[in-house]
Structure 1
């Protein structure tokens, strides 16, 4: 690249640093999408549709491990409505009005939540409700600023000191700017529009303007966090020193993104000709950058990269990927547990019965976690080519087909799969944490789907929530309808080992058992192990629990299986003695387990106490589990819930690639990630 380009970048960074210093000193910076009061952009991005306008507002909170402030915010009218620094027109999200018209058919009372940033008008400030939602422990949790947003510190989080609402003008996020140059979501897209590539789908490398804006936005957010640190945190370095250090890291990411990717990645990606620019010689094609990447550099580590979005408003016009707003009324959701439905395709039918089922958690039809809310829902996919994302087919409405993209309650509205029955305690929500299929010859399709879920009774501070029970629901019609088994319920009690199995992960052993890994509610626990015969999976009294070898004054007790859940040993996490908490992988949250043919070992993915996504391996389901390998560190926006894809090449022994779902807090949606096991 020419010297002029580098000079331009340095100049851009200089401007960014100057702007950052000015803002930090208290001087406003005009947002990129400043408009006057008659502009086309609304001053409030949060709307409530249908019956959602009454009662407590459902919101989520975006928190950090250090208990620092929750988000960056934008005020387009600050300092007298100064002119925009960047002459860029940001796309207007016109999906909110239509999405909010969809009202959930769920009669249950809806949970109360706190959004990452409450949208307000310039005349008023929305007071957050008292209850909160599960949060992500992210050091830097980037959010996309709305036109007018006010940030208010969490009043009920003991880790955050109460502060007055503040308004700070910042640049538009890189995500918004990137979307401006790619295909935009439209609820009116037809099937032809979605299946035919056009010029808008050509993917470009991030522009220099986008990159510099992203650097500035990240620097400002980070600098305010460090300057506004919790009183209990250690002294911070001088502001300019810290700002320069952070800027250097961001520029390294910028150069890495705009440079050529590795030969392996390039070869894999240029095979997707519909997304990569055409060229007579593939080596001459521009390096393909995944569309809508939430981070400036989609290659988040040497081994791992972002592939595509699984849910959300994003449109990949040549595939049935994402665009779940128009097709299913799903603007935001999380978790994304995946498993093989255990069926074989019948070539005489017009659809593919062999599918991966994807169970997701709290689901909203509108932005800012508003609109129609559901406890959970489910998606289906028969896509085995994962290098460019997960294809989810359109829904099948009132035609008897149980292999469409999702169970529906309307032509374009996914419905909840698990609701609370009258005989179980009230819940804030019911979130799937694991899924598995088991052959059952006497059923319609010869297989039964099982989903383990947790019943959340209260959301607490970052990474802490309370459950009143966990249970298993089953379906014999490919996830179309589920029934909760009463004998599977595990009430959360300090007097029972069931407290350690409130969240789960399933894997089939080579000995005929189904193994279930469990963790307590929240993100501070370790993982425990139980096993059961497949025919008894719904009966909690039939499980056996693994107790590790122990040594005492009277000799050594060998490892064994016991019928007492209270005797189960922690087999993953909470090790290393007093210094264990300083090591990656010490706490286990939202885990996923598989047998990996490529490695010839069982593998587990989970989030740890530092919000890293880590992997361990073992020759047997119970261990000894290996030391931690960090696949990716914490990222802007907050990451959680790594869920393995059962059809990854490495899982099936056909390659080294491992694919897995990952939830991003700031976008509140699920994305597909790829890890090359040869690069670990």
Structure 2
């Protein structure tokens, strides 16, 4: 018997196959349309049909993650590897008093990871499991000192799959300050060649803690006849900086000298790049927290989501990776969901070829990750 869920899954799988989504990073292969603005105009007018679909983490979630010692966690950025999608979480706690708000509790791990082969986003995402330690509990992937004003924690900002391996971009947090503000020691990457079970720090590749390249959202772009490049939209530590852009060839992802930084447009309106981080210019000038950027096949435009403090989660449409980007449109209002942050998208989780998007969202109370959907209106 073919159930409604099965029919939805088959339709979604056909759409994903048609769109060429063969899972490489948080983004996928593409033609030149992603990189050319000629003749384009902004299409996105508003957001409709916003809905909270399911709770993904915590004891009250559809995944009952308390069985992995995961009562409270946040973030949940996603990346694809083959038929699996990996959800990467921030500070994770296995023991929490009933009714506790925000981060805190016992059995603290700075970061954890779940994985899934569930490609039907309509009823939430069911995890196949988590990367586990010797106690069969959610494992801390990257260690941290857990010493305030030294290294308080290590937070993954996004992952990707490239060159046959998994990479995590992360920030070493020195100190959590006032709401929306924190100090970073540096940002760097870690590599796994065994599907996330163990990780090796790439200490040769670091961005300074006071730079604009502390939190990243990567996307893999492949143009005809060219090696794939990874584009990264980047913000400083905290939630009050703007967005800058860098890129690197996929084969050079571990070589710091090969990263290039967008500096602006040249005299022919073509993007200009520099190997000097100090030359980088803004592509979005706003107060941006926990950003996520993907290509949307429905609009055939870029979408960027982020937290704008005091307003909530907003969404912007971009004609190219460097812009122009339209004005921010409300996606989830802070007044409706207090304590919201971390709106992460993934191109695998769409309906109607991208007219409906799904995304994860963290809520400070109850300090867990939830699954949302919304429709894009032209």
TM range (shorter): 0.7 to 0.9
Aligned match for 1:524, one of 240, 243, 250: 240
CA contact (8 A) 1:452 1:471 kept: yes
* 1:380 CA displacement: 0.2
Report the counterpart of residue 37 of structure 2 in structure 1: none
Report the counterpart of residue 460 of structure 1 in structure 2: 177
Superposition pairs for residues 360-379 of structure 1, below 5 Å? 360-367=89-96, 368=100, 369-379=104-114
Q: C-alpha deviations, 1:2-25, integer Å up to 9, x for none?
A: xxxxxxxxxxxxxxxxxxxxxxxx
Aligned match for 2:329, one of 629, 633, 655: 629
Superposition pairs for residues 268-347 of structure 1, below 5 Å? 302-315=48-61, 321-326=62-67, 328-341=68-81, 343=82
Aligned match for 1:390, one of 120, 125, 129: 125
CA contact (8 A) 1:588 1:606 kept: yes
Call closer, same or farther: CA 1:379–1:549 in 2, change over 3 Å. Answer: same
Q: C-alpha deviations, 1:373-419, integer Å up to 9, x for none?
A: 001010001101111111112xxxxxxxxxxx111114541111112
Q: Return the alpha-carbon distance in structure 1 between the equivalents of residues 327 and 194 of structure 2.
A: 40
Report the counterpart of residue 249 of structure 2 in structure 1: 533
| Cα-Cα RMSD | 2.3
Report the counterpart of residue 28 of structure 2 in structure 1: none
Call closer, same or farther: CA 1:414–1:564 in 2, change over 3 Å. Answer: same
* 1:485 CA displacement: 0.5
Structure 1, gaps ≥5 residues long: 1-269, 274-300, 316-320, 344-353, 394-404, 441-446, 494-498, 574-585
* 1:453 CA displacement: 0.6
Larger RCO: 1 or 2 (CA < 8 Å, sep 6+):
2
Moved over 3 A (4+): 270-273, 555-559
Q: Return the alpha-carbon distance in structure 2 between the equivalents of residues 451 and 631 of structure 1.
A: 27
Partner SS state of residue 73, structure 2: coil
Partner SS state of residue 107, structure 2: strand
Larger Rg: 1
* 1:484 CA displacement: 1.0
Partner SS state of residue 48, structure 2: coil
More strand by share: 2
**TM-score, L = length of structure 1:** 0.45
Report the counterpart of residue 620 of structure 1 in structure 2: 320
Aligned match for 2:191, one of 468, 474, 477: 474
Report the counterpart of residue 366 of structure 2 in structure 1: 667
CA contact (8 A) 1:571 1:622 kept: yes
Q: C-alpha deviations, 1:489-544, integer Å up to 9, x for none?
A: 11224xxxxx1001111011234210111111111100000010011112222111
Structure 2, gaps ≥5 residues long: 7-46
Report the counterpart of residue 548 of structure 1 in structure 2: 264
Partner SS state of residue 488, structure 1: strand
**TM-score, L = length of structure 2:** 0.80
Q: Return the alpha-carbon distance in structure 2 between the equivalents of residues 510 and 272 of structure 1.
A: 33
Q: Return the alpha-carbon distance in structure 2 between the equivalents of residues 310 and 363 of structure 1.
A: 14
